[in-house]
Amino acid sequence: MILSLTHDAAVAELRRRGVTVPRATALYRAFFQNGSFDFSNLSEFAGEAGEAARCSALVARPSGQIVDQREAGGVLKFVTALEDGARIESVLIPGPGRDTLCISSQVGCRRACRFCATGQMGWVRDLRVDEMVGQAFFARFDLGRPVKNVVFMGMGEPLDNLDAVLQAIAVLTDQRGLNIARGRITLSTAGQAEGLRRLASRHPGNLGLAVSLNTASDALRNELMPINREFPLSRLKTELKAYPLGPKGVFFIEYVLLAGVNDSPQAARQVVEFLEGLPVRINLIAYNPGGSAPFATPTPAVVRRFRDELALGGLFVRLRPARGGDLQAACGQLGGGRV
């Protein structure tokens, strides 16, 4: 129960169940800051072992558990089995002084991007708030990896599960809980324009926003990312232009280069044209081969040529290493619940 609630909501709920406010506050802190379910050593429960045990039972251990994990080059992929048997994947990516956790928001995904292993699974169900927050909780307390950055870039399209994702963010950022800064949380979308509009109307604050673009041609995007048939590039751009980024805000544009598909200089010039007038930073990632998708990695020379063409068009581009490729843990490669 507690994993889906902010401090204030948890205290209100625990009060309804007969727990005093000081005890509810103390146990919320102990749970999220120490991963503790045993409240008997908290001063608020001194001499009240029975009440401490009752509160432990009320809070309960998060449902689900890590059933598989593998690390390569510092990148750790872990698989969580949920209470209904569904499996989700999360990835911890090390950075200077801070780990980034890539969280899944759905079991499977209905958007069926052709280069994405999750997309090939189809949609199974949305994740609940506690199942999303649980990924950060397990990373911190079961794997001992304090999480400072979160990207909703794992399995699923987060804007297709927006209400639960926003509540999960409220819990993740609660200062009396996991206390992850809002500015260190990024939502990644395949271009779910309706969700972008809803997100804009919900005062998203300083959340980061990443858009997986991969081509600025509607014809090609219709093939690679079927979501484009519902929300074509013109609609996507309209929503991006209307989106209330803060004064320093930029959109992150993710572009996975697929050899011979979207990696030509002409494709780069289309991207420059499409992004004109939008504050963006582009993350360019060479495709990681694997799974059953019929794509290949472009050569380093082709990748550099594409990057240079974007830079020539005045765009800020970063060439991102496809970290975790050998774990099937890189962009677009989660899915299947195996390590």
Give a three-class secondary structure readout of 21-77: HHHHHHHHHHHHHHCCCCCCCCHHHCCCHHHHHHHHHHHCCCCCEEEEEEEECCEEE
Nearest distance in Å: CB 32, ligand SF4: 28
For ligand SF4, give the closer residue by CB, 88 or 116: 116
- Judged by CB under 6 A, does residue 64 bind ligand SF4? no
DSSP state of 158: G
Judged by CB under 6 A, the stretch of 40-48, 75-83, 149-157, 179-187 that binds ligand SF4 is 149-157
Is 89 annotated as catalytic?
Answer: yes
Q: Please report, to the nearest 10 degrees, the dihedral formed by the alpha carbons of residues 128, 111, 254, 268 taken in order.
A: -170
- Judged by CB under 6 A, does residue 332 bind ligand SF4? yes
- Judged by CB under 6 A, does residue 44 bind ligand SF4? no
Instruction: Out of 89, 99, 130, 157, name the contact with ligand SF4 by CB under 6 A.
Output: 157
| Binders in 199-218 for ligand SF4, by CB under 6 A | 212
Name the residue with the smallest CB distance to ligand SF4: 119
Bridging pattern class, strands 147-152 and 75-81: unpaired
> One of 44, 55, 89, 254 is an active-site residue; which one?
89
For ligand SF4, give the closer residue by CB, 122 or 244: 122
Contact 61, 110 (CB under 8 A): no
Instruction: Out of 39, 45, 52, 119, name the contact with ligand SF4 by CB under 6 A.
Output: 119
Which run of H or of E encompasses 6? Answer: none
Is 131 annotated as catalytic?
Answer: no
Give φ, ψ of 42 to 5 degrees.
Answer: -80, 140
Nearest distance in Å: CB 192, ligand SF4: 8
Give φ, ψ of 122 to 5 degrees.
Answer: 80, 175
- Judged by CB under 6 A, does residue 195 bind ligand SF4? no
Q: Is 312 helix (H, G, I), strand (E, B) or coil?
A: helix
Residues carrying an active site annotation: 89, 331
Interface ranges with ligand SF4 (CB under 6 A): 109, 111-113, 116, 118-119, 155-157, 190, 212, 332
